[in-house]
Every structure is written in C-alpha cells, then in structure tokens.
Structure 1
C-alpha cells in the first residue's frame, strides 16, 4: 500500500501492498458482522448477457509500476479472473509500463491513438488532463445512462464523493482504499483491532527482529531511544546467522528519502525518522515551511550519518529496489528496518522471523514524535477512470457493480470459500493458510490482486480479527504499524494537502520544485555519507542555502497562503509542536 499511501490510509498505502501498506451517505447500512449485498444490487443473473455471449476484452492501463495483476488474463471459470469474466462478460489485457507511464499516456492523449478503456492512475496532473480533455466519463452520468439501478448511485460514501468532486469538478474516478467516516458508517469495524487500524495505522515504521534481539541480549526498552538503537547496532554487528553476518540496519532502498517538495512531508526512511523526531511542515507560528527546513529533519539526517559511519548499513542499500529489500528481510539476517514496512514482506506466508516495534525512537534532543493525519475525507490512492471510447459500456457498468459488491470484494480480497477462507458464526471472514499463500502470490492467483477496488472500510467490517503473524492484517502487522501512531502527537494535516495541480505543471514554480527535488536527492546522500561531522554540517548548510536560492521561499509562500485559506475553510489550526 506510494506514495502514496504520507498515506495514512493506505497503502498504504496496505499501501499498501495493503500491509496496511497505503486514508457517506448510507442507505442500506450493513450491520456489523454481516456481508449482505444491498437489496438493490444489480448483478448479472444466470440468464445474463455476460453468460450467454463471448467475453469482451478491454485494455486496462495503470501508472502504478509496482502493481502486477495476473497477465495474461486467466479464462478458467474456477479462477478469480475467470469468475469476474463469468459475472461481467469482460476480460482484460493490462498495460502497466515499468517507467514513464504518465508520458506514454500523455502521448496517447495528444495523438490519434485510442486511449485505454480503463485507466487506473495516481498522477493528479495526468488525471486532470484527461478530465479537461473530456476523454473520461463522469461516473454519475455514466451509471445513470448505462446502469440506473446501480447501488453506487445511492450507497457510495458521500464524504468521499464530495472530496472527489471538489478535487476534479465532478465524480470522475473510482478511488481505491476508501476509508472515510461515511465509509465506516456503511461498514462499521468488526472489532477494536480494526478500529485502532483506522486511527493509527501507518506503513512507515521502525521495526526489529526479535530473534536477533534475543541472540544479542537486547531488551525492548533499550530500543526506545536514539542512543539505545545506535548502541544496539554495535551489539549486533559481529553476529552471524547461518554463517553470514547480521545486517544491523536496512533502509528503504532507492526510495529511502521519499522526497517531495511542497507537500505534507517526506515518506519512507527519512520521513519515518522525521516523524519520530518531531519534524512538521509547519513552524511554531503556524506557517507552512517545507519539512526539509525543520531542525528535526537535520537531526534525522544526523542519525543516518551516524548509522552509516558506524557501518550499520552499506551505502549500496541506497540503490536497491523493493525486490531486493524483501529478499534481504527473508534471509533472517536483518536486525532492524526503518521505512515503509509494506516493502519488506515481513508478514508474507514465506517470511521468516518475528518483528516488533517498541514505539517511536525518541530523539536525543527531547522532541516529541508527531503523526500527521488528515481527518478530512481523502480521495484514496489509485483512481480508476473509464474512457468515453470504451466499448460495451453496459458491461463496464455491471463490472463496476460486481467489483464493488460484497461478492466481488470477498473474491478480490480472499478468493474462494472453503479453500482460501471460511466464515465464522458471525459471518466474518477467516483466512486459511492456503488463502494467505494465494494472497502472497497474487500475480499468479488473482487473490488480493485487484488493488484499484480495495476498500479498507469494507475489509475491516467483513473480516475477523486475526490471531496469526502472517498476512497483510496480521497481529504482527498491526503491532508494527500502529504502535508509533499510538505514542505520537497526532495533528490534523487536512489543510496541508494542496488541490490537484495547485502549482501548475510547466510553471516556473513547478519547474523549481523539480529542480530542487533533483538537487536534494543528491545532496542528502552526500550528507549521510560525509567523511566527518564538519563536512556533514557544511553540506547541510550549503543545502539549505541552495534550495532557498533555487526558489523554495516562493514555493513555501504560495503554499502557505493556500494553507491558511484551507485552515479557515476546514476550521482547523496547526502549529509546530517542536521547532
């Protein structure tokens, strides 16, 4: 669960790959512990066109390169994809470029080439281009025209719909990972376990391998402070697992900085450290300033410098991808990880070791850990659009109904009853060992594969609280991903989220943002790998001076003006808790 998903929904972000990962009007409210399809659900019947006509193949494009749904489409009616086809009359050919997806779709938009039929995107600028060009359907119009009895017209979370309309000028996108107040009124959490997830869960975390802790004689309380963690790195450096040396610290690979310029903060390894050390994109006077300027960000960089200097992690970690991160964790030789836990596979069925989070690592400067969380309805992570040129719109409308129904969601998340899951006495889903394996192997099985339709509120309503350490929503996943939030100062970050394309693409400020981001990516690595503290501090001072020369003050001023307008509109006030 990118990028969002800091995505506090997601990802995540389950961003997550929904380890979370990753952020309504409620007629026909479901009761807790039930999985009833709304009475007006319009699903294909046994005599439907979908079952009596050859399937229609559509193209499905996405700019999320890490999403790998089964391809080619499996036509076996006993598979997840085959079931979708039998229910809707559709099959899909996926087009998910490994890189430059936005550029490729933009070229299709301006050329005479036909756009893909279905487009699942995360690039707000690209989404706006499609809407402004009139190439995608307004879903209200689409459903009223092709499926007027669709439950989506009456049972879609109203706060989420309003947020999408405010963002796009209409309801054009179906969002993934919905988790708003209205969504949770439609789908109340099945237990306190999932209530805590809604309040505190975040993929970004610091976590430790309990087996290596025992081998080194390290107690959990020793890992609650910055100095204690640095001391623990020294204790485990000489240890070996199966004859190979322990890795004291694993960072989040080539994405360890999680940089954005002009946002609510950073993600991944750097963003996790910033939050634990109390960095915020707002100063003591309540004015926006890019989080790179916060003194606590300097302290986060100093920590990574000390860790690198002590040999806790090798600089080569700064260039690896998510596959390499997972492979490292699965060796059982990694002592600690800081960053997006969804990228580690630490709860996969074939994962090794037990991981814990003692809580936020407390800064030696005595600052309070913070957690920004938008209390305003978000707009999900992946946004799915329907091209106006797509054939068989009636079938697409029925497909939307099926994929968002209880039947479609349980197929999407869990696969097949009896094999992948069972239902308890209250009708709640209990995932089987086979189900866990199938979800981990989603690119082949189709179980858990259709991220664009993942619905966090539905999942937390339909699922029994787990008892094992395996799976995206296991006991271990929840402990690692909620403990920091429970022990941090939470502030409402809603007003810090700027409208889509607020700084217009191609403008001077947008170009300045891109240039600053490129500069920071190189300079931050130099700071962390500096030869000594004097060099480190000079590189940091040079960085701050340079980003100001490159236009950061103008970017901050524009965002600050909008930030204060949004605070007034939302009735919120944010001030820096530390610096």
Structure 2
C-alpha cells in the first residue's frame, strides 16, 4: 500500500482528531461490556479453520494511514478486533487519485474490495447505482439481526444519509448530532464550546517567532499588521534556516487557504437579499486573493507551496520555521507543539465583518464506509461493523486498553494515560485511534474527561487555536444549512455540470495567475478578466439554478440568511 501522509472533525474531523486522536463515528451498544479485553472464544474460529479471514479495505482518503501490516497479537488494538470479529484487513489506499482508481474498479471485472471508505458523495451514488454495495439496513437484518445499529443509530443522522443517498448505504464517520447527544451528552463546557465555535479553517501562529520579532497577537489581527509581521519575520532564522512567514495549504490551497481568507474578509454565499451567489463573485474574494498576491509579492511565501502534497506541508509545520499557516489546521498535526496558537480573524483593510458558517443539522459523515456485495465474508463483516460502532468497540479502537491506555475517574469519565496519548500519536504503528471511519464525535465528547494542559495538552492546544476565530467578538456566525447544495445537484451529463467543470478549471488557473501578478495593475486587470470570463462561462446561470434550491431549503428549514457585507 502506498502512503504519503499522516494526520493528527467534533464538529469536524479536526476537532475530533485533536480530542480523540482523530474524530469519531459509531453508536452505542447498551448490551456491550465496557471492557476491551479480547474474548477467549473469538469469532475467528467461526469458520472452523481457526484462522481469521483477510478482507480488503479500500479508501480514497490518501492521508489516512492505518497500520500498513495488520497486527494479530491479541494485546494490540488490531489483534483485539480480530479476536472479536474473525477478520484481518489488507488496506488499499492509493497515494493519489483514489476516486479515479475506484471508477476503474467499477468498470473492470476484477475482484472488488470488501469494504470501501470514501468522502465523495457523487462516488457514493455511483457505487449505489452500480448495485455493488449493500443497503446497511438490509445487510444487517440478513447477517446480524441483533446489531445495535438497527436499534440505536441516531435518527437525525440517518434521515440526512437517506435523503442524500436514497437509503442507508454508507456508515458515517464523526457522528455529531442532537439525537446522538440525547444518548451521549457532553461531559463539560469544553466540548460545548468546541461544537459551538471550533472550525478547521484558520490561521496558526508560531508564538516563538512572534516573540522573536517583538510583536503580539493583537498586532497581527489586521491585514496590514500581519503583512508588517511577515516583513519582520523574513529576517529571522531558525536553526540556521530562514523563516517561512506564510505557509499555504499545498496544492489544495484554493479550497482551504483561500476559503478561510474569503470568510475572514467577509465573503458569503448569499447577497444582501439572501440570493445565492458563488463566492467567486463576492467582492470580498478579490480582497482574499489580494492578500495572497501581496504576500507573494513581498516574498512571504513561495510559488512552489501551491503545488506540494500534505506530507510536505506537515514537514514544514513540524520544522519550527513556519511563522503562520493558513488553511485546514486539522491536516497539520500542529497541536503536537505547544508554541502554536491563533490570533483569530484577520481583519481586512476594507473593514468587512468576518463570517463563519455553522450547521445545526446532523451531518452525513466526512468518511463514508460501504460494504461490498462481492465480499466472501458477509457474516463476519456484519459482526465487524456492529462491533466497531458499539461502545465496546469504540473504547477499544479509539482509546485502547483500560488500565494501560486510559482509566476512568470517580465520575466515570475516561482519562487517557501518558502511554495512551503516546500510542494515539503513533497510530500508524499502534492502531490506536487509527480507524477514523468509525470515530464518533458525540461519543468521545461524552465519555472522556474534558482535557486540561496537564491531562491532554495536544487537545487543549488544538481547540484553543481552532476556536479562536469563532469565539472572537468580531466574527459573525451564521447558519449555512440551506446553503449546502448536493455535490451532484447538476446531473453529470447536463449543460450546467459542464459549466461547473469549465468554471473550476478556469478559476484554478486564473487565481494562481492573480497571486503571482507582477504589479497592482496586472492584478486588477486579471481580476476583472476573471469576473468577465466567469459570467461568460455561465456562472450566473448556475447561481440562478442554485438559488432555487437555497430558497426552497430556507423555507423548509425556517432559516433566512442574508449577506452581511456585500
């Protein structure tokens, strides 16, 4: 199996990961024992061979890195899973283009993976339409009719999945919903704040370098103040190497770095009348791209940053040379070093109000796990998915072994040990907290003791940084439930889908040109050219169609959202 990245969502993957070494998905099993000690009458003997069966687990998430070789030692997390389910796993995680490879699998007659974990909603529908994956309700009724999933899966999450997929086909990661919280209430204010304010997108600040240049967090809360700090940081060296004033989020920067800048400079997907408008057409987007242009022109970041993969980004974060990072903070492992923090929003020179979208509806999962109809082990896979999502199973694969990796305090709340924290950090080898598709955010926020700097420094560092933007008094939080359009809103073979593709291809190239413009005049000319071309391609036509959906959902949900700035 090829792998390039490691990962160190809560509300989203970031939070859950920071708090539980990577997120949470699953449901409770009231009949399950809290003990994670493997049963001596393991299911691995069920086939009569005494040997576990090996299933193939495919994922398109190229930075998910479960242990490359399955450990069958019953004193390991993987071995305990095998003892309970009679299965081991071989992982197939392409280093890139996972969805493309999955498409090829669908077209070929080769053996199909037993388990699939993907993030692309459109790909989920392709799998369903292919007839190659089970409806989980049908699957469990046939092969594990006593499964807790059939009894206690959160109704609000299930409704979202069925609306999206036409049935309960995909098990979601990082469950976090009102119905889930009825079963698993938060154990403290720390987790309530996490749900209300935390977000993955943001700016991280290296306080060591901030101190070195003689500035404070308040000094860099404005656009000009931050650019001034970048100029000072250029002269600083760390271990003999020049500081990187700004690190952008690699080749995905337009989806992460730029999207945060759009938000902090006040862009929204609706105008002042509440009509849908692509963020590209929001005037604040010019300010966001303009910030990157000014940073590039000042020599604060290099063009090559916009082409590298996540492994390179993480390596730079770990080097101590980065002054600020803007992008998806969840995908950096920043919280392993206590010098990282956040100053919250960047207040633009234009004086616009920073915005943060939050959803109040249940989510359908970041990672979505499906079971293949081609599998030779349906009974074992049914028991496996039931176990992995049970309280017993989640305690095992998220937290490890009681007495070794965690203990319970006098209030019955889980407290990680130093060994447990270390093993979770080394999840690519230990397997502890490695099975992100079955992490359950609400469960984790309920069962574990709210962390402190003494008990779980990494989690505190993560939440402090990831909540800074949302908790800042300057930030306006609004509900975005009606603004989230289905990924396949436009049929794949439609004119509108073709326009979408053309817009995406064009804007990616044009924005890169704007960032690397040689002068303000060239930047302004390229921006005007972009707006004209986007309209020529038909972006306003797409917005008119999208607005129909937004207005319909706004009425359905009883939510009215209007633009705050432009």
Q: TM-score range by the shorter chain?
A: over 0.9
Aligned-partner SS, 1:330: helix
Q: Is the 8 A contact 2:197 2:470 kept in 1?
A: yes
Task: Give the total of aligned pairs.
Answer: 552
Q: Which of 457, 472, 475 matches 2:460?
A: 475
Aligned-partner SS, 2:13: coil
CA 565–374 in structure 1, closer or farther in 2 if over 3 Å, else same: same
Q: Which of 47, 50, 55 matches 2:44?
A: 50
In structure 2, C-alpha distance between the alignment counterparts of 1:13 and 1:132, rounded to whole Å:
33
- Using structure 1 for the length normalisation, give the TM-score: 0.90
User: Which structure 1 residue ranges, 5 or more long, are not aligned?
Assistant: 31-36, 259-267
In structure 1, C-alpha distance between the alignment counterparts of 2:128 and 2:196, rounded to whole Å:
33
Aligned-partner SS, 1:112: coil
CA 473–210 in structure 1, closer or farther in 2 if over 3 Å, else same: closer
In structure 2, C-alpha distance between the alignment counterparts of 1:234 and 1:509, rounded to whole Å:
44
**Is residue 149 of structure 1 aligned with residue 143 of structure 2?**
no
Q: Is the 8 A contact 2:203 2:342 kept in 1?
A: yes
Q: Is the 8 A contact 1:8 1:23 kept in 2?
A: no
Aligned-partner SS, 2:57: strand
Q: Which of 411, 425, 444 matches 1:459?
A: 444
**More displaced 10-residue stretch of structure 1: 505-514 or 457-466:** 505-514
**Is residue 550 of structure 1 aligned with residue 537 of structure 2?**
yes
Q: Is the 8 A contact 2:57 2:92 kept in 1?
A: yes
**Is residue 377 of structure 1 aligned with residue 379 of structure 2?**
no
CA 329–48 in structure 1, closer or farther in 2 if over 3 Å, else same: closer
CA 573–167 in structure 1, closer or farther in 2 if over 3 Å, else same: same
User: Which structure 2 residue ranges, 5 or more long, are not aligned?
Assistant: 1-6
Equivalent residue number for residue 4 of structure 2: none
1:23 deviates by 11
1:444 deviates by 1.3
CA 226–214 in structure 1, closer or farther in 2 if over 3 Å, else same: same
Equivalent residue number for residue 221 of structure 1: 218
Runs of 4+ in 1 over 4 A off after TM superposition: 13-24, 40-46, 469-473
**Is residue 288 of structure 1 aligned with residue 276 of structure 2?**
yes
Within a 5 Å distance, the mapping from 1:47-446 to structure 2 comes to 47=41, 49-51=43-45, 53-258=50-255, 268-348=256-336, 351=337, 353-446=338-431
Q: Deviations over 1:160-180 (max 9, x none)?
A: 011111111111110001111
CA 45–344 in structure 1, closer or farther in 2 if over 3 Å, else same: closer
1:448 deviates by 1.4
Q: Is the 8 A contact 2:112 2:372 kept in 1?
A: yes
Aligned-partner SS, 1:484: helix
CA 514–22 in structure 1, closer or farther in 2 if over 3 Å, else same: farther
1:470 deviates by 9.3
Aligned-partner SS, 2:248: coil
CA 198–19 in structure 1, closer or farther in 2 if over 3 Å, else same: farther
**More displaced 10-residue stretch of structure 1: 524-533 or 322-331:** 322-331
Equivalent residue number for residue 566 of structure 1: 553
In structure 2, C-alpha distance between the alignment counterparts of 1:512 and 1:94, rounded to whole Å:
36
1:103 deviates by 2.6
In structure 1, C-alpha distance between the alignment counterparts of 2:201 and 2:387, rounded to whole Å:
33
Aligned-partner SS, 2:180: helix
Aligned-partner SS, 1:249: strand
Equivalent residue number for residue 527 of structure 1: 514
**More displaced 10-residue stretch of structure 1: 518-527 or 420-429:** 420-429
1:531 deviates by 0.6
In structure 1, C-alpha distance between the alignment counterparts of 2:182 and 2:163, rounded to whole Å:
22
In structure 2, C-alpha distance between the alignment counterparts of 1:530 and 1:21, rounded to whole Å:
40
CA 386–39 in structure 1, closer or farther in 2 if over 3 Å, else same: same
Aligned-partner SS, 1:248: strand
Equivalent residue number for residue 3 of structure 2: none
CA 241–45 in structure 1, closer or farther in 2 if over 3 Å, else same: closer
In structure 2, C-alpha distance between the alignment counterparts of 1:170 and 1:239, rounded to whole Å:
56
